[in-house]
Amino acid sequence: MKRSLVTSHTFTTPLDHDSLGDELCETITVHATVVDVLPSHVSSSEVLAFLSVHVPGKELAEAYSQMFHDPEKAKSIVYLQGGPGFPSPRPNLSLSFSGSSWATSAMKKGYTKFILMDQRGTGQSTPVTLQSLSLKFGPSLPTAEVSNYLTNFRAPSICKDADIIRRTLLSNSQPFDAILGQSFGGFCLASYLTDPSLLPPRSSFFTGGIPPMYAER
C-alpha cells in the first residue's frame, strides 16, 4: 500500500508580477496542497518526527526539502484546475491513488510529488468574490478600478505564481517534471509554455482547454 504525506503551503506573490522588486508592490497569497508519495526508505517514525517539529517556517521548509526533494527520486506534477474560478481538488475527496483517476495514471508513470495549486482568486488563495471586491473597493465597485484589479487574475499571472512555487519547492534551475492542465488549466498551461521568462516543464498534459492556433498565410 502506498503511503503519502499531505502538506499545506502558502506563498506570497505580487498582485502584478510586472511590479516584482518594487518595495511598495501589492501582494496576495497563493495556496498549494502538496501530496508526497513516500519512498520506501522513509519510515513512519521519520514522518511523525517531521510532523512534530516546531521551528520557524524557513527551517521547516528546509527540513521538508531535505526529506522529500531528492530530484533523482521525486518526480513532480502540477495540476492546474479548470474553471476559471474553481479551487484545486482536495486530496481526501478528489485525489485517489486507486482506480482510474489521473493521479493513479501519473503514479504508475513514476510521479511522486503532486502539487495542487489554488489559482489566485480561488480556494484558499486570495479570493475574488463580490464580498472581497466590496471590502476592497467599497460597495459602489468603481468599474475602472475593479477591472484593472481583475486583469491580474488571468492565466499569465497564474503561470508566474506557479513558477514561484517551482522555485520555492524545487530550485531555480529544476523544472517541474510535468504540468497537467484541465479545461481552463489547459489555457494556463499553454500560457506557461509560451512565456519565455518561465522554465518549461519536462512534460505537458492537456485534458481540454486547448487555445486556438493562428497561422499566417
Q: What angle do CA 11, 177, 61 make, to 5 degrees?
A: 35
Tell me the HSE value of 179 on the side-chain side, using a 13 A CA sphere. Answer: 25
pLDDT tens digits for range 20-57: 777 788 999 999 999 988 777 777 787 777 777 676 66
pLDDT greater than 80 at residue 68: no
pLDDT tens digits for range 198-216: 999 999 999 988 877 776 7
The hierarchical CATH code for the domain 4-207 is 3.40.50
Task: Give every strand in the sheet of 203-207, ordered side by side.
Answer: 4-14, 27-37, 113-118, 76-80, 178-182, 203-207
- What pLDDT sits at residue 150? 95
